[in-house]
Chain A
Amino acid sequence: MNDQVNTTVIGSYPIPIDLQQLMDSYFHAKSPSWNPVILQAVDDMVTAGVDLISDGQTRDPFLHIFIRGLQGCRIRARAEVIGPILFDAPINTGDLEFVRSFLPRRIKLLGLLIGAHTFSESVVDHFYHDKKQLAFDVADALAQEAHAMEPFVNMISIDEPSYANSFPEYAAELIDRMKRYVRCPIRLHACGDISSIASSVVDLPVDVLSHEFAASPQLFDVFCEYESKKHFCVGVVRSDDAMVEPVSLIHERMMKARDVFGDHIAQFSPDCGLRMLPRKIAFLKLQHLVKTARKMYD
């Protein structure tokens, strides 16, 4: 791909977990390693030809990765906040360092952060009883996580799927807090139909806006209405449908994106994380995405 437009992912990638292998490590009093799982996810993304990959976010549902890593949280039947949210130690850098250790130099790496608003919307809060205060404490803690992951990544993606349901008036402040220790480019991913908040989203303090245009093509018309100098990561492959789109359909979506965003297209991606799809389907979707983008830009 050219330097201006990259193929990329949103984050998660489906790798079946070998539970017997994990139990074997337990029975032999060895620390269970997640590296073989990460390796498979990265290998698929690289083999498919993606320019900017993630670590596959294979360990857990996205929220749980951060719930496990931050102080003040625990997981019971649901994720719970039981005390002040504090940064304890880097959460993702071990995995990112591992990926960097074998990733070809030409491939770029994406660091993934849950958005502070989505975090606050997704937990059972037994401590703050104040969603805004909770979100700001999460943002402060995740700012340190962003700082820890920056040496390993080319871009950090903040994932705010809850925007589609609730958009806080302090969204920009939260993002400013989260990115205050880093200089790398920041992407904001907000999936779902965000038509009603698009006018606010285009002003958020990030470098790239990432949205699902394949499942919500009406967003093309919505963004036509707003002048923005932002760059876009355009979702052109559905992540909620196991049908592998033909190159012709993806090409149609990319052409539409080019009509709407012109030179402001920075990335093409699936609409969202791929973890709910079978691995084979996820791989084929990425392959078709890359093939189509290359056809357009190379």
Chain B
Amino acid sequence: MFSFTKQQQVLDVGSIKIGGQPGQHPTVLFGGLFFKGAPDFQQAKDQLNTMVSISERTGVPGVADFFFRKHDYIEDIIKFIIDQIPDPMPFSVDIQDASIKIEVLQHLHDQGLLSRTIYNSLHIGVTDEEREMLSSNTPSAAITVAFNPKDRSPDGKLEVLETSAHLLDQGLLSIAQSLGIKNLLIDTAALAPGENSGSAIAALPVIKEEYGLPSGCAIHNVVEKSIWLQNLPDALPVVDVASNSDIPLFGGDFVLFGPLKHASFVFPTIAWQDILISEYVESYFGVSPSDRHPRRILMK
């Protein structure tokens, strides 16, 4: 059970709030929309509608996380966002390649979408060109990945935020600030199975206490990569969904839960967890849940 002494930031991104003391606002869930080859927009629309529906029923906010892995289809995916994600609902763009990041940012700017964009992500691989583009086309929020290749511990994650572990000219927090990114979410960087992946969970309360910033991670990735679980095919999806509960339980604010198609399982799981947390933090710390908290919607 956590209540932080550091004042907690609550970010307003589009129509959702992220952050705060545990139990104050519901956990925000990011579900990935991956496209292999030509995007199947009908399937994407169906999954999006499922997420919106379960989000409304449970009170757990959802954000569609659009993967851009190739230069092809960038304009098509952005058109889909314009058509299917109603303003002011936020969305995130998940991009690894710096040149694709630059192109997508330019399109988002041209379409007037940056005020609803959560940039996924800023990390030690940031290039000069990317920095330049981010400073002129600044998204509303950015997920900063606290991956430190030198140190897998929670301290290592703080270090990369503070100093970039001397791999860049300044720490990731300073870089984000210099680029004018006002809303920062910290991804505590879940590592490969056996590589101290648990430190991503341990780092959640540490980072919230240190900086008061919304924190989360993609802990389900560790499940997905756990070879021993692949030999238990019936259990694998259950463990995958269940793993996401660790994040709010340890004070985290957002969850990158993997494919959006898992929404109908993940949202109720997190709603249940959020209700439980709200019950005990309200009785012990006096933290009241927000108006749209799952406890208010589902426990009337």
Q: Establish whether residues A20 and B195, one from each chain, have CB atoms under 8 Å apart when the complex forms.
A: no
Stretch at the interface among A29-37, A49-57, A91-99, A236-244: A29-37
Centre residue among A22, A29, A31, A32 by max chain B CB count within 10 A: A29
Q: Establish whether residues B221 and A29, one from each chain, have CB atoms under 8 Å apart when the complex forms.
A: yes
Q: In the assembly, what is the distance between CA of A17 and CA of B150, in Å?
A: 12
- The reply on A76 being an interface residue by CB < 8 A is yes
Interface flags for B107-141 (1: CB within 8 Å of A; 0: not) read 00000000000000001110000000000000000
- Given A61-B166, A77-B163, does the pair A68, B151 have CB atoms closer than 8 Å? yes
- Given A19-B125, A68-B150, does the pair A76, B162 have CB atoms closer than 8 Å? yes
Q: Establish whether residues A74 and B147, one from each chain, have CB atoms under 8 Å apart when the complex forms.
A: no
Q: Establish whether residues A76 and B195, one from each chain, have CB atoms under 8 Å apart when the complex forms.
A: no
List, in ascending order, chain A residues with CB within 8 A of B158's CB. 76
Q: How far is the CB of B217 from chain A (nearest CB, A)?
A: 12
- The reply on A75 being an interface residue by CB < 8 A is yes
Q: Establish whether residues B191 and A19, one from each chain, have CB atoms under 8 Å apart when the complex forms.
A: no
- The reply on A132 being an interface residue by CB < 8 A is no
**DSSP majority for the B interface?**
loop
- Given A23-B124, A26-B189, does the pair A17, B159 have CB atoms closer than 8 Å? no
Q: How large is the interface on B (under 10, 10 to 19, 20 to 34, 35 or more residues)?
A: 20 to 34
Q: How far is the CB of A73 from chain B (nearest CB, A)?
A: 9
List, in ascending order, chain B residues with CB within 8 A of A3's CB. none
Q: In the assembly, what is the distance between CA of A9 and CA of B159, in Å?
A: 30
Q: How far is the CB of A58 from chain B (nearest CB, A)?
A: 11
- The reply on A59 being an interface residue by CB < 8 A is yes
- Give the total of A residues in contact with B, Cβ under 8 Å: 23
- The reply on B225 being an interface residue by CB < 8 A is yes
Q: In the assembly, what is the distance between CA of A98 and CA of B69, in Å?
A: 35
List, in ascending order, chain B residues with CB within 8 A of A31's CB. 191-192, 195
- Given A22-B124, A75-B159, A76-B159, does the pair A30, B192 have CB atoms closer than 8 Å? yes
Q: Establish whether residues B96 and A23, one from each chain, have CB atoms under 8 Å apart when the complex forms.
A: yes
Q: How far is the CB of B123 from chain A (nearest CB, A)?
A: 6
Interface flags for A150-178 (1: CB within 8 Å of B; 0: not) read 00000000000000000000000000000
Q: Establish whether residues A19 and B163, one from each chain, have CB atoms under 8 Å apart when the complex forms.
A: no
Q: In the assembly, what is the distance between CA of A13 and CA of B225, in Å?
A: 36
Q: In the assembly, what is the distance between CA of A165 and CA of B222, in Å?
A: 48
Q: In the assembly, what is the distance between CA of A74 and CA of B167, in Å?
A: 17
- The reply on B88 being an interface residue by CB < 8 A is no
Q: Establish whether residues B192 and A29, one from each chain, have CB atoms under 8 Å apart when the complex forms.
A: yes
Q: Establish whether residues A26 and B150, one from each chain, have CB atoms under 8 Å apart when the complex forms.
A: no
In this complex, what residue of A is CB-closest to B222? A29
List, in ascending order, chain B residues with CB within 8 A of A102's CB. none
- The reply on B155 being an interface residue by CB < 8 A is yes
List, in ascending order, chain A residues with CB within 8 A of B195's CB. 31
- The reply on B149 being an interface residue by CB < 8 A is yes
Q: Establish whether residues A26 and B162, one from each chain, have CB atoms under 8 Å apart when the complex forms.
A: no
Tell me the chain A residues, 8-66 only, with Cβ under 8 Å from chain B.
Answer: 17, 19-20, 22-27, 29-32, 34, 59-61, 64
List, in ascending order, chain B residues with CB within 8 A of A25's CB. 149
Q: Establish whether residues A20 and B125, one from each chain, have CB atoms under 8 Å apart when the complex forms.
A: yes
List, in ascending order, chain A residues with CB within 8 A of B151's CB. 68, 75
Q: Establish whether residues A76 and B155, one from each chain, have CB atoms under 8 Å apart when the complex forms.
A: yes
Q: Establish whether residues B191 and A29, one from each chain, have CB atoms under 8 Å apart when the complex forms.
A: yes
Q: Establish whether residues A22 and B125, one from each chain, have CB atoms under 8 Å apart when the complex forms.
A: yes
Q: How far is the CB of A277 from chain B (nearest CB, A)?
A: 16
In this complex, what residue of B is CB-closest to A34? B149
Q: How far is the CB of A229 from chain B (nearest CB, A)?
A: 40
In this complex, what residue of A is CB-closest to B97? A20
Interface residues of A (CB under 8 A from B): 17, 19-20, 22-27, 29-32, 34, 59-61, 64, 68, 74-77
8 A–B contact pairs at CB < 8 A? A23-B125, A26-B149, A34-B149, A60-B150, A60-B165, A68-B151, A75-B159, A76-B162
